[in-house]
Structure 1
Amino acid sequence: MKPQPIDLEHLSRQTMGDREVAGEVLDLFVRQAGRCLAELGTGGEEEARKAVAHRLLGAARGIGADGVARAAQALEARPADAGALAALRIAVAEAEEFIAGLDR
Structure 2
Amino acid sequence: MLAIDRAELDAQTGGDAELADEVLALFAGQCRSILPRLTDPSLPAGQRADLAHTLKGSAAGVGATRVRACADAAEAQLRAGAEPAALDDLVQAVAAALAEIADGAES
Q: Does 1:98 align with 2:97?
A: no
Give the 5 Å matches for 1:26-41. Answer: 26-41=24-39
Moved more, 85-94 or 39-48: 39-48
* 1:89 paired residue number: 91
Moved more, 84-93 or 34-43: 34-43
- Superposed CA RMSD in Å reads 1.3
The 4+ residue runs of structure 1 with deviation greater than 4 A are none
Gap runs ≥5 in structure 2? none
The answer on whether the counterparts of 1:61 and 1:69 sit within 8 Å (CA) in structure 2 is yes
Offset of residue 91 of structure 1 = 0.4
Gap runs ≥5 in structure 1? none
Give the 5 Å matches for 1:7-46. Answer: 7-43=5-41, 44-46=43-45
Secondary structure in 2 matching 1:101: helix
Offset of residue 42 of structure 1 = 3.1
* 1:76 paired residue number: 75
Work out the number of aligned pairs and report it. Answer: 101
Secondary structure in 2 matching 1:17: coil
